[in-house]
Amino acid sequence: MAFLNDDIRKQITEVFAPMKKNVNIALFVKESGCDSCEDTQGYLEEMAELSDKISLSVYDFDVDVEKASELNIEMTPSLVLLDENNNDLGIKFNGIPAGHEINSFISSILEVSGVGEEFPQELVERIQKIDKPVNIKVFITLSCPHCSGAVSKAHKLALMNPNINAEMIEANTFGELSEKFNVSGVPKIVFNEGADLLGDQPLEEFLNTIESL
Amino acid sequence: MSLDFSLSFNTEEKSNRLDPSIIYDTIIIGGGPAGLNAALYATRKGMNVGIIANRIGGQVLDTSSVENYLGFNSLAGEELMQKFEKHVKEYEVAMTSDVLVKSIENDYIKKINASNGKIYQTKSIIIATGSKPRMLNVPGEKEYMGKGVAYCAICDAPLFAGKDVIITGGGNSAVEAAIDIAKIANEVKLVHRSEFRADKVLLDKLYSLENVEIHLQTQIQEIHGEMLMTHITALDKKENKEIAIKADGLFVEIGYLPKSEIFEGLVEMNEKKEIIVNNKAETSTKGIYASGDVTDVPYKQIIISAADGAKAALSANDYVNKLK
Ligand SMILES: Cc1cc2nc3c(=O)[nH]c(=O)nc-3n(C[C@H](O)[C@H](O)[C@H](O)COP(=O)(O)OP(=O)(O)OC[C@H]3O[C@@H](n4cnc5c(N)ncnc54)[C@H](O)[C@@H]3O)c2cc1C
């Protein structure tokens, strides 16, 4: 089954054209008990075809246990974006980044490949000063138009500071986890499994919350 | 699972950002129907135009389908806005998105302070910041916001699949939300304090649904729960008694409030904090225009906002021409 139609393929190919560095996607799937694994893999294979700078490695969560633990994979489907040297940058998507999340997925790929957006100096300094470990979970639904903005910001923070890691969590696929974090509105942004923000907040709000942890 | 792809990414945006060293003829604050149509008219008049918007597309992006924009029988809100944006991008319009305007210094050359730390300069300003959802203002609402209480039906509806949901409101947005959510929820209860004012075509659809129960003349008084909301209490005004309705979620669709806080003191507003404009979209301050949901023009609709955006652009053009 083709996930992307010709029109979308063409558009994405253009968006990927300026990519500078290679980006490696590590996808973790499971043989059974994972409804969306097959679709996710098919979708990522199609995306990876759209640029020769993107490569995809598919791992079996139950078999490639070491790799999964190295990249802190806890559920399936789950994927991380690695840089050209296969370094983990703390950028993860749990659940298929389709629907509106195609936008955060593309944006994070571009960021990793070195064609990201530049921030003003003060913000960069504030981000680089963060010296404690921070985990950001962004719960989303695929039909939410502004959730991808929150995911992109979280990923960008992770990219700019190695103390930060950030993950998208598709709330329908991971219902139990969403219930654990009382997600009934998206995007819900949870910091270190405690403090949270609701809605696609400006970057300043992310930083205020992180600094208050 | 939704595999529909909603690609809103585009390559041009990064190359044509607003430049703080340029003095624009007009800067439009807001990228909804009002802002985008203002940009189209202004650029076609030959003005040097910039748009600053938090989210290009505005509220319409959160609308599942639009059926009353002339020329389009029915299309997704997002699709309509992509058409608007594409049309504007046929011209030289500088756009900076994902940025909030923080404040404005009004002078001969007006300065716009933005959340990215930059200051943009312009001869005239068109305010098109739209509106945001109105809250019920009842006890429990803030406490259970994001814990059952929601304001964006298309965003949060998937979280209530198979659950019981209350929608409150009597206008088109509320009825549309009820119709959408009824497709996936177990049971939907529409609770509204007076009578419906939604379009008849929508009401006919609503009445045909089996899992929707309607409570008119019923005013929500409090939202209750533990970790998450569990029920509401409301006053049934016909029977004059208090009732409790169990639900996992409450979608509030009771209208909108203007996003005008940052313009307080800069332009005159009415008691609803809507910016007062005359029939040329002029505000009380020279060189500053406003259009769309943020103004005191009645009937908040896409076509009305867009049309008023055109007026604001034409007025701003007259003003800037006279400065020369
Ligand atoms: C669920 C729903 C369904 C609807 N259905 C319909 C319908 O079917 N038909 C119809 O005609 N109308 C409908 N409407 C109403 C319609 O969406 C609005 O009337 C219209 O969007 C108003 O346009 P606008 O340009 O004034 O403002 P908005 O669309 O609200 O756009 C405001 C813009 O300003 C930006 N902004 C705000 N503050 C700032 C700031 N400080 N700095 C920078 N940028 C800022 C925003 O990011 C956005 O780009 C619906 C509304 C909703 C919410």
Q: At A1, is the pLDDT very low, low, confident or very high (cuts 50, 70, 90)?
A: low
| Residue B308: inside a domain | yes
| Residue B278: inside a domain | yes
pLDDT confidence of residue B1? 44
Residue B132 Rama label (left phi>0; alpha psi -120 to 50; beta): beta
Half-sphere exposure of A40 (CA within 13 A, CB side): 29
Q: Do B159 and B106 sit in the same domain of this protein?
A: no
Closest partner residue to A145 (CB to CB) among B3, B78, B118 is: B78
Judged by CB atoms closer than 8 Å, whether chains meet at B116 and A120 is answered as: yes
Q: Residues with Cβ within 6 A of ligand 1?
A: B 29-35, 52-56, 58-60, 62-63, 66, 68, 100-101, 128-131, 173, 259, 262, 292-293, 300-303, 305
pLDDT confidence of residue A145? 87
| Residue B3: inside a domain | no
Q: Do B101 and B45 sit in the same domain of this protein?
A: yes
Is A108:A81 a contact under the CB 8 Å cutoff? yes
pLDDT confidence of residue B7? 73
Q: Do B48 and B104 sit in the same domain of this protein?
A: yes
Mean pLDDT over the full length of chain B: 94
Q: At B12, is the pLDDT very low, low, confident or very high (cuts 50, 70, 90)?
A: very low
Q: Do B40 and B121 sit in the same domain of this protein?
A: yes
Domain segments of chain A as ranges:
6-84, 121-211
| Residue B18: inside a domain | no
Judged by CB atoms closer than 8 Å, whether chains meet at B7 and A184 is answered as: no
Q: Do B36 and B119 sit in the same domain of this protein?
A: yes
CATH code: domain of residue B171:
3.50.50.60
Q: Do B61 and B208 sit in the same domain of this protein?
A: no
Query: Which residues of B have a catalytic role annotated?
Result: 152, 155-156
Quote the tokens at residue A205. Answer: 């709000």
Q: What value does the mean pLDDT take over residues B304-323?
A: 97
Q: Do B113 and B161 sit in the same domain of this protein?
A: no
| Cα–Cα distance, A174 to A176 (Å, whole number) | 6
- Helix or strand or coil: residue A112? helix
Lowest mean pLDDT among A113-117, A185-189, B224-228, B284-288: A113-117
Residues of B in contact with A117 (CB under 8 A): 14
Q: Do B55 and B200 sit in the same domain of this protein?
A: no
Q: What global pTM score does this model have?
A: 0.83
pLDDT confidence of residue A121? 82
Residue nearest to atom 48 of ligand 1 (CA): B58
pLDDT confidence of residue B3? 58
| Residue B296: inside a domain | yes
pLDDT confidence of residue B17? 87
Q: Which numeric CATH code is attached to A121-211?
A: 3.40.30.10
Closest partner residue to A146 (CB to CB) among B55, B116, B145 is: B55
User: At CB < 8 A and 24+ separation, what contacts does A123-126 make?
Assistant: A123/A203, A123/A204, A123/A207, A123/B117, A124/A160, A126/A207, A126/A211
Whether pLDDT at B15 is above 60: no
pLDDT confidence of residue B274? 97
- Helix or strand or coil: residue A197? strand
pLDDT above 70 as % of chain A: 100
Q: Do B176 and B215 sit in the same domain of this protein?
A: yes
Is A171:B157 a contact under the CB 8 Å cutoff? no
Q: What is the pLDDT of residues A37-61, one digit of tens each?
A: 999 999 999 999 999 999 999 999 9
Mean pLDDT over the full length of chain A: 94
| Residue B8: inside a domain | no
Per-residue buried b or exposed e for A184-196, using 16+ beta carbons within 10 Å of the residue's own CB = bbbbbbbbeeeeb
First to last CA, chain B: 57
Q: At A201, is the pLDDT very low, low, confident or very high (cuts 50, 70, 90)?
A: confident
How many folded domains does chain B comprise? 2
Q: What value does the mean pLDDT take over residues B173-180?
A: 95
Q: At A62, is the pLDDT very low, low, confident or very high (cuts 50, 70, 90)?
A: very high
Q: Do B42 and B126 sit in the same domain of this protein?
A: yes
Name the more confident of B185 and B2.
B185
The CATH number of A6-84, from 3.40.50.720, 3.40.640.10, 3.40.30.10, 3.30.2010.30, is: 3.40.30.10
pLDDT above 90 as % of chain B: 85
Is A132:A102 a contact under the CB 8 Å cutoff? no
Domain termination residue (choose one: B224, B252, B280): B252
Lowest mean pLDDT among A14-23, A81-90, A114-123, B55-64: A114-123
Is A135:A165 a contact under the CB 8 Å cutoff? yes
- 10 Å Cβ neighbour count for B161? 13
Q: What value does the mean pLDDT take over residues A57-72?
A: 97
Residues of B in contact with A178 (CB under 8 A): 159
**Residues in Cβ contact with B24 at an 8 Å cutoff, skipping those fewer than 6 apart:** B18, B48, B49, B50, B94, B120, B121, B122, B123
Residues of A in contact with B161 (CB under 8 A): 172
| Residue B6: inside a domain | no
| Residue B144: inside a domain | no
Q: Do B71 and B125 sit in the same domain of this protein?
A: yes
Q: At B37, is the pLDDT very low, low, confident or very high (cuts 50, 70, 90)?
A: very high
Residue-number span of the structural domain to which B247 is assigned: 149-252
Q: At A123, is the pLDDT very low, low, confident or very high (cuts 50, 70, 90)?
A: confident
Instruction: Look up the ipTM and state it.
Output: 0.74
Q: Which has the closest alpha carbon to B24: B120, B101, B128, B92?
A: B120
| Cα–Cα distance, B113 to B120 (Å, whole number) | 7
